[in-house]
Amino acid sequence: MNYQHLFEEGRIGHVILKNRVVMPAMGTGMAGPYGEITDHQIRYYEERAKGGVGLIITEFTSIDYELGRGIVNQLRIDEDRFIPGLHRLARAVQKYGTKIFVQLHHAGRESNSLLTGGKQIVAPSPVTCAAIGEEPRELTTSEVKEIINKFISGAFRCKVAGIDGVELHGAHGYLINQFLSPNTNLRTDEYGGTFEKRMRFLEEIITGIKKLCGKDFPVTVRLSVDEFEEGGINLQLSRKISRYLEKIGADGLHASSGNYNTMETVIESPLFEEGWKVYLAEEIKKEVTIPVITVGNIRDPRFAETILAEGKADFVAIGRGHIAEPDWVHKAAEGREKEIRMCISCLHCIHSVSNGPGMVKCSINVRAGRELEFAEVTSIDEKRRVVIVGGGPGGMEAARVLSMRGYDVTLFEKEDRLGGQLNLVTDPVYKKKMKKYVQYLCNEMEQLKVDIRLNKEVSVEEITSFNPYAVLLATGGIPLVPNIEGYALPNVCNYRDVKLENNIFHDKKVAVLGSGMVCHSTSRRLSEKGNEVILVELPTKSGSKISPATRTRLMNKLRKENVKIITDHKVNKLQSNGLSLEKIDSGEMVEIEVDQIVIAMGVQPYNPLEKSLRKAMENVFVIGDAAGYTSLGDATRGGFEKAYVLESLVTTN
């Protein structure tokens, strides 16, 4: 396809961009312990610049590390000592013809006392963010002016470092957003009250930057055009804000949405349609002549081209899509759309930054955030055969990397198609995204000429007949059967039976046990078939990996389908006419009458070959669900890592 609009030059202020694709700000958690740029961080951004993106906007960068931090290990530019690191980053990116802006940020009430060393968080007014749960202290007028100067000083340091421009983070409920919103700005001084006074904080930042850095230094603003919160910023107010920002000298607007209380509209779950909030940018573009950037789950280059061709925005921001596929731009430009590893919106990157070690990870791109560790795929010196059993995501990822390295790979899959557990996704929106990922993997198998053998449940004898250098077992998992009395009754089945329609019900009363994505989709599928569905939510390993925002959305979808939801109970017994529950807090027994019971509590390892195979040969490795993992990210990581270091594993095994 000819992407005439996507790959034409664009302009933001006096800066010319080589195309209309922007990588927006996304937290990586990769900064050093004091907020400094790290080598890993530079390499991460450089990889995306090398992939052809026109503009990179860095992750949110603190202008007030004492009271304004949003996460641990956040990038900062509140002191001169951070200029050299930022200069290194700028040079690493700019050598590919990519421009770079720094997003300047203060969290305000969306910080917490753990990040501020126990100090009370601050905001325009003492209005608590429900998602945070800590009441902020109202900033004094003099403190407001100090923060304005910190934004201005941060921008000047960026200019000194050779950065091409700055974006002011006025979205997602952070401090600038708090000054703009009628919900959070209840001040009575010069920075609150009327529309103009609520704008004053941002206005003085913009005019101050222009005065100190020069009119040629671009300043854009990211806005939550709709906070999706009663009484907050909405589209009507944002039209007025946008016109005002153009009037006072803003060089561009970045149309986003939401705040921490409406987080699912900030970072979308898999259940959101592609480009669902492009309409916000489209409406703002009608109000201003300065460029408008649109964002929101944009994945496919053909869709991105349509947005620009129809004049809905001037630039498209591909965010998580660039975490999953650093070469998104080059592959689109070269007509290699099938080779684009499109983001599936699983939120693994968000969870990884928010939890655990706090560094960005991707469930389908293991190299994301680890570009220095996996600098390049090295080729082997001599041809060697590897056998892989299982054609799910872990097995195919291992086959992909091994083939790229020069191994002769044979992959056995007992089913008639590749994809494994990914083929069980039934939610209409999520299924489209997962289908594209499976198609990407299948295309890689074809391009790399992997020997694929479908409908083949291979034996130990057949495997050893290849005399393989190594064997990777990616045989996946089977539905977990809980140790509950009555699980073997004829009216009890598992989610896989429902998903594959081996056992589908109509006009029945059905209880579904479990939690997690598969449990919710099973409940919805049964409801759509005309059944009366009761979801008994039980804690599971897979359910614990769902974010609160996604869980809320899943629950709401089920309620719209008239699914009854029972929580805070445990199951004592399954019966031919129903099930016996016990309230966790009181111990009260509850009897539920149903026709059918479906167990959807996740998977357990399916690994029938390992024991016998290890007796016949060495160098047998198990990955994915077969090794006891339960997530796509774990399966992909296992396949990639084993393939990347296979010779070392064989040597030391």
pLDDT range class, residue 126, cuts 50, 70, 90:
very high
Residue 356's pLDDT is: 61
Tens-place pLDDT, residues 196-225 = 999 999 999 999 999 999 999 999 999 999
Instruction: Decide: residue 185, CB within 10 A, 0-12 exposed, 13-18 middle, 19+ buried.
Output: buried
**How many whole angstroms separate alpha carbon 435 and alpha carbon 349?**
20
Contact 94, 100 (CB under 8 A): yes
What does the chain come to in residues? 653
* Domains in the chain with CATH codes: 10-354 (3.20.20.70), 385-476+606-652 (3.40.50.720), 480-602 (3.50.50.60)
Residue 357's pLDDT is: 66
Contact 464, 424 (CB under 8 A): no
SS3 605: strand
Q: Is 174 annotated in the active site?
A: yes
Query: Helices in 261-416 by DSSP H: which ranges?
Result: 278-285, 301-309, 320-324, 328-333, 348-354, 393-404
> Is residue 128 pLDDT above 60, yes or no?
yes
**How many whole angstroms separate alpha carbon 513 and alpha carbon 526?**
13
Q: Which of 45, 65, 174, 440 is catalytic?
A: 174
pLDDT range class, residue 109, cuts 50, 70, 90:
very high
> Is residue 229 pLDDT above 90, yes or no?
yes
Residue 98's pLDDT is: 98
**How many whole angstroms separate alpha carbon 8 and alpha carbon 2?**
11
pLDDT range class, residue 424, cuts 50, 70, 90:
confident
Residue 502's pLDDT is: 66
> Is residue 601 pLDDT above 90, yes or no?
no
Task: Give the global pTM.
Answer: 0.93
Judged by average pLDDT, the poorest of 7-21, 488-502, 629-643 is: 488-502
CA separation (Å) from 50 to 43, 161, 319, 341?
10, 20, 16, 16
pLDDT range class, residue 412, cuts 50, 70, 90:
very high
pLDDT range class, residue 309, cuts 50, 70, 90:
very high
Instruction: Decide: residue 509, CB within 10 A, 0-12 exposed, 13-18 middle, 19+ buried.
Output: middle
Percent of the chain residues past pLDDT 90, beyond the cut: 81
H or E element at residue 296 = none
**How many whole angstroms separate alpha carbon 5 and alpha carbon 19?**
8
Look at strands 603-605 and 509-514 and give their pairing. unpaired
> Is residue 549 pLDDT above 70, yes or no?
no
SS3 69: coil
**How many whole angstroms separate alpha carbon 281 and alpha carbon 255?**
5
Tell me the pLDDT of the chain averaged across its residues. 94
Which residue shows structure tokens 């000054």?
179
> Is residue 344 pLDDT above 80, yes or no?
yes
> Is residue 545 pLDDT above 90, yes or no?
no
CA separation (Å) from 573 to 364, 487, 642?
39, 8, 42
**How many whole angstroms separate alpha carbon 280 and alpha carbon 285?**
9
Residue 330's pLDDT is: 98
Judged by average pLDDT, the poorest of 57-61, 168-172, 361-365, 377-381 is: 377-381
Residue 547's pLDDT is: 67
Contact 480, 605 (CB under 8 A): no
Bridge partners, residue 153, by sequence:
none
Tens-place pLDDT, residues 465-524 = 999 999 999 999 988 888 899 988 999 999 888 877 666 788 899 999 988 778 888 898
> Is residue 653 pLDDT above 80, yes or no?
no
Residue 524's pLDDT is: 86
